[in-house]
Structure 1
Amino acid sequence: MTTRNPLFYQSSKCVARYLEANIRFQLFLRCPGFCSVHKTQPVRIHELKVRPNNFEVNGTVFSVGIIRKYPATTPTPKSVKISNAGGGIQYDVDRYGIRRDGQEETREMTGAMRDAAQLNFFEDLLEWMARDRERQRWDVDWGLLIEARQLEILSYRMRMTNQEPPFTQYLQLTITNGTAQKVELVEYDKNLKFTRNYILGKIFGVVKVQVGSLQIGEDKFNSRLGFYRAEDEEIVLEQPGNAFHMSPRDGQIEPLLPVPEETLKIGEMIVTGNLKNALASIKTCLSENNPPFKKLTCAYQSFPDDPLVQTAKLICIARTASLRVFNGKINNNRIHLRSCNIQQKSFRNLVNKWAMEKSEIGRFYSIGFNKVKEIEEFFSLFINIPGAERGDNEETRWSEFPECIIIPMRDETELNVWFEKTNEEDKVYCNTKYIVKIKVQNSGYAQVHGSF
């Protein structure tokens, strides 16, 4: 016979500490007796992704949107069905489904005048779409686009004449785990920001949180954060704060999670947008004794002068960068570039820095490459440095490409430069076929075979 013994408070604390985060959240929301245990034990999350429109905890995605429901006697338009199936509208709207722009009216006619102008614009646009749809070769569903525009026009007309809309709008919480999906609806009487913060507060607001890997921003890295001008003379930056809200009162970045101050611990961090904003969003809630990030991954951009960046054990630049990274604000001992825009001027500046400054033994740079020819062109720059020699070291000697370049440096040190096929250990941060490694060693670490 199987007996069921209840867990006592002390044993419950131990179980709670190691429960999978999503199971623990469900117990907290549904079991009053578990609440006191939940509030005293840290929540451990293997992977947390906080995107502008949703957040993901260990593979379970939580998203909030506004859906539109028509009565049973009224067919639901196809464009509305598609929007509802995708989780709903991701911005706040009024009862007619028109986006709220946050502008307050100063005169009675201002809103009406704006609606009339917008209505004229949409009507002209609809006329153009209907006239030119046959001539356009874009791979889009024109019927769907036209229907959506017609619904917008109808909404403006209803608002201008103060009619009752033929639909009701709800807030929808969608919880998705693989193919399983759970949906909850509530009346749309709070804005999306309030609702998202309420849900986050229910999950994170009363406990210490330990996150193995935290991603801030969309899954793709922002390609507009930095690009290069001729000869790499200047980097032009655009730094939108895509995933964060600016407080209109004090201009400060709001906390990423509604957790008490100094209760968040993070192992690794991935920022796909503005790094400065991302760091600001976790500063107040990050624990004082949080160890240095094991890995900090971001796109190439203007790096803030921040201890969280300077102490990271590994900096990964996820998009094409410049050799200026090694000669700029970040002086971490371990930096990896996903790919590199190599310019002779940047290389010369880097060599001058190595010649003037003392480099710590073990400082390790790496760059991803997909073609051996590109590596050979890069290595030609090293070969032309005065005093460069060829040889091998313990890490290259038994590899497929055993030869390394040896560059004498100051204070009885040398620079070893070599490349190899990306191995399983390197694939944690490098997804290219080959990896170039540049490491500072004690003089004599590599065995010299001769000059070039």
Structure 2
Amino acid sequence: MTQPPFKPLFYETSRCVALYLESTIRIQLYLRCPAFQTIHRAQNFRVADLKIRPEDFEIDGTLFQFGILRHYLFGNVPESTKLKNAAGGDRQDIDRYGLPILAQNGQQVITDEQYIELLEQQAFQMERNGPIPLNRYSYILTTNEVQSHRLKIEKKRLKARSYELRMRNQNPPFQHFVELAMTCGEEKKCEYVTYEKTLQEIKDYVLQKIFGIDAKVLFGNLQIGNDDFVQDLAWFIQNPPQLVPFVPFIQAQLAELDDPILLPGFVPEVPPVFQLRALVADVVPLLKLRAESLEVHRLIVTGNLANALASLKPILAETPLKELKVSAQPFSDDTVVRTVQFLNVVGSSRVNEIQHLQNHRIHFDQLVGNEQDFHAFVRLLEEAETMRYYSFGFSELKNLNFSLKRFSTIPGAEREDFTEIR
């Protein structure tokens, strides 16, 4: 039987198909098919999961990563550079010499000349001492250990050379390009562009290009921050870490780090929205899109909630969240938090951090820690209004048994057996 002739989709039928396409397929069509761009911009775009991390973002399982690669204009390419390019390059912004751009906090730092001397000394000592076996009880070096030692020396020599070129204001023998790597499962596609903008600016541009449409973008889950929730965040917010003092010995030890080099008085260039301490005044919109064109059902914040809400204020003001999942921390009397239907708190909270919460349903994956807080929490439950629900989660059976014993010690507590339902 002969196959029927292929018939392309017309505009009207394409609009219907676009609504039900997987987000990753729709993005690829939008980026590569000019005829589909008008349809993409005109139809609502449903995304199940968007995860925005400090260095990358992920859309429904497709990971978008940004790295800076070094391309030598002539001569042989150092082996350490080849390996670094193959691994995705630098994930932080660098200058034209390949040296990290770090935020200075007003403390004294060593000069380029001192840094060159330090790197040369370290390279000389490594050459003199030779490679060291990873297994201290073994006297036999493996090929990988010898090669790794040689590459570490090469990196230090190259870095010292970059500082020399910067001191003399000479042109480096290489250029930098930005690699945008899109990975879905085992499939990986890469695109390249000259490194002229910061990585954050490039990241914002790509997000704007994908989600900057005339119709609505509907996010099922929006995650801000790394995948793991920050433990003891409340303590960290109340006790911000102090800068490391200027101590030459500490500086020399930190200089041995290959990537990135964190010197006393410097902090990595991480956008304020991802900082653990509150920097609400410095936060810029995370998604530079029209507020009325976005809708978020479930928001997951693994770090500081105040910074995340500040970056999404116009968007979250349009439609209340169905669920907010966040690390345990002090909660401000914010309209967004107040109107959430389901508040999911990860980590152990203190009563003074949660006693003002008036949400319809609140879940804690851990009960409060000490006995005093526990009894204060029980009083909070007793005084709660009707039709407000509290729930608890337990990672291990022993935690459940411990909590049941706690509740049984409350004056007037009674136990009732319920039929198990499967």
Structure 2 counterpart SS, 1:368: coil
Q: Distance in 2 between matches of 1:83 and 1:91?
A: 13
Give CA-to-partner distance per residue, 1:403-426, whole Å, 9 cap, x none: xxxxxxxxxxxxxxxxxxxx8xxx
CA positional deviation for 1:350: 2.0
Q: 1:307 to 1:168 in 2, by over 3 A?
A: same
The 10-residue stretch of structure 1 (321-330 or 154-163) with the greater mean CA deviation from structure 2: 321-330
| Residue aligning to 2:25 | 23
Aligned pair count? 375
Q: Distance in 1 between matches of 2:364 and 2:128?
A: 50
Q: Equivalent residues in 2 for 1:41-440 (5 A)?
A: 41-71=43-73, 73-78=75-80, 80-101=81-102, 114-127=111-124, 141-207=148-214, 208-227=216-235, 236=238, 238=240, 244=272, 251-286=281-316, 288=318, 290-293=319-322, 295-318=323-346, 320-322=347-349, 324=351, 327-355=354-382, 357-361=383-387, 363-372=389-398, 374-392=399-417, 396-398=418-420
* Equivalent residues of 2:273, 2:311 under 8 A apart: no
Q: TM-score, normalised by structure 1?
A: 0.73
Structure 2 counterpart SS, 1:215: strand
Q: 1:135 to 1:214 in 2, by over 3 A?
A: same
Q: Distance in 2 between matches of 1:302 and 1:376?
A: 28
Q: Distance in 2 between matches of 1:245 and 1:389?
A: 47
* Equivalent residues of 1:213, 1:270 under 8 A apart: yes
Give the number of the structure with larger relative contact order, counting CA–CA contacts within 8 Å between residues 6 or more apart: 2
Give CA-to-partner distance per residue, 1:48-92, whole Å, 9 cap, x none: 1111111111111111111012357403322x2332122221222
* Equivalent residues of 1:216, 1:243 under 8 A apart: no
Query: How well do the aligned residues superpose, as a CA RMSD in angstroms?
Result: 3.3
Letter in structure 1 aligned against 2:393: I
Give CA-to-partner distance per residue, 1:19-56, whole Å, 9 cap, x none: 22222222222333322222221211111111111111
Q: 1:136 to 1:225 in 2, by over 3 A?
A: farther
CA positional deviation for 1:279: 1.5
Q: TM-score, normalised by structure 2?
A: 0.78
Q: 1:203 to 1:380 in 2, by over 3 A?
A: same
Structure 2 counterpart SS, 1:389: coil
* Equivalent residues of 1:383, 1:389 under 8 A apart: yes
Letter in structure 1 aligned against 2:420: W
Letter in structure 2 aligned against 1:380: K
* Equivalent residues of 2:229, 2:302 under 8 A apart: yes
* Equivalent residues of 1:327, 1:349 under 8 A apart: no
CA positional deviation for 1:18: 1.8
Q: Distance in 2 between matches of 1:243 and 1:55?
A: 14
CA positional deviation for 1:98: 1.2
Structure 1 counterpart SS, 2:405: helix
| Residue aligning to 1:413 | none
Give CA-to-partner distance per residue, 1:291-345, whole Å, 9 cap, x none: 432x322211122322322232322223x31352784333323222223453111
* Equivalent residues of 2:131, 2:149 under 8 A apart: no
Q: Distance in 2 between matches of 1:205 and 1:68?
A: 31
Structure 1 counterpart SS, 2:393: strand
More strand by share: 1
* Equivalent residues of 1:206, 1:260 under 8 A apart: no
Q: 1:225 to 1:130 in 2, by over 3 A?
A: farther
* Equivalent residues of 2:331, 2:353 under 8 A apart: no
Q: Distance in 2 between matches of 1:330 and 1:138?
A: 54
Q: Distance in 1 between matches of 2:387 and 2:68?
A: 56
Q: Distance in 2 between matches of 1:323 and 1:101?
A: 36
Same amino acid, percent of matched pairs: 35
The 10-residue stretch of structure 1 (199-208 or 69-78) with the greater mean CA deviation from structure 2: 69-78
Structure 2 counterpart SS, 1:10: helix
The 10-residue stretch of structure 1 (51-60 or 87-96) with the greater mean CA deviation from structure 2: 87-96
More helix by share: 2
Letter in structure 2 aligned against 1:367: G
Q: 1:125 to 1:370 in 2, by over 3 A?
A: same
Letter in structure 2 aligned against 1:283: K
Structure 2 counterpart SS, 1:361: coil
Q: Distance in 2 between matches of 1:56 and 1:376?
A: 39
| Residue aligning to 1:107 | none
Structure 2 counterpart SS, 1:120: helix
Structure 2 counterpart SS, 1:168: strand
* Equivalent residues of 2:54, 2:270 under 8 A apart: yes
| Residue aligning to 2:38 | 36
Q: 1:277 to 1:33 in 2, by over 3 A?
A: same
Q: 1:73 to 1:253 in 2, by over 3 A?
A: same
Q: 1:323 to 1:91 in 2, by over 3 A?
A: closer
Q: Distance in 1 between matches of 2:330 and 2:122?
A: 40
* Equivalent residues of 2:316, 2:336 under 8 A apart: no
* Equivalent residues of 1:92, 1:192 under 8 A apart: yes
